[in-house]
Amino acid sequence: MGQDCGIDNLDAVTKSDHLCNELGLDSISVGATVACAMDLFEAGCLIREDTGGLDVSFRAQDLQPGRVHLAHRAPAQLQRFATLPL
pLDDT of residue 80: 55
Task: Collapse the DSSP code of 58 into the 3-class scheme (helix H, G, I; strand E, B; otherwise coil) and give the result.
Answer: coil
pLDDT of residue 7: 80
pLDDT of residue 29: 85
pLDDT tens digits for 37-84? 888 888 988 888 877 787 788 777 666 667 776 676 665 555 555 555
Tell me the residue ranges of DSSP E strands in the chain.
Answer: none
Query: What residue spans define the domains of the chain?
Result: 10-80
Q: Which of 11, 12, 30 is nearest to 20 (CA)?
A: 30
DSSP character at residue 3 = T
Give the C-alpha separation, 12 to 63, whole Å: 8
Give the C-alpha separation, 23 to 67, whole Å: 13
pTM value is 0.70
Q: How confident is the model at residue 36 (pLDDT cuts 50, 70, 90)?
A: confident
